[in-house]
Amino acid sequence: MTSFAVAIEPGSEPRLAALLALVHAGAAASPWIAHGRPALAALVSIAAIAGLGSSLTRVPGPHCRLRAVELDAGSCRARVAGDEAWQPAEVTRATRVSAAGVALELRVAGRLHGWLLPRAGLPADQFRRLKALIRLA
C-alpha cells in the first residue's frame, strides 16, 4: 500500500477563492431577487456573507492555516502555519471526494483544518493517489 503514499503542498488557488466569493454573493442576493420577506432575506444574506470567511479558510493559499499533508495507507501527518513540525493528523468523516475535486478535512491537535482541492490544483498522479487513499480510509 505504500505505492499510494502522497505528499501534498498545494499552491494558491485564487480562481477558486473568486468562485467561492461569487457563490456567496449569489446566495446573499437570491432572497432579495426572489422577493422574500425583508427580515428573512436580511437574515439569509447575513449568513451567506458571514460564511464566506469560513469558506475561504479552506482554499489553499496564504489565508489557510493548513500548509502540507503527507498521507499513506496507515498514517497521516500535517503541517500547520506557525508550527513547522509535522503533527499527527486524522482524516475526518466530513472529507468528500468527487471527479472535480476533494474536500479534505483533517483533525490536527484537536482542531479541524481543511482544503478544497480542485482537480487542476494538483498533478494528475497525486490527485488519483489522494482520491484512492481517502476512499480506502
The pLDDT value given to residue 48: 96
Alpha-carbon distance 137 to 70, whole Å?
14
Q: Which of 92, 85, 94, 95 is nearest to 107 (CA)?
A: 92
Q: What percent of the chain has pLDDT over 90?
A: 65
Considering the entire predicted model, what is its pTM? 0.80
Distance CA 135, CA 19 (A): 27
pLDDT of the residue at 133: 86
pLDDT at residue 3, as a whole number: 61
Give the pLDDT band of residue 72 (cuts 50, 70, 90): confident
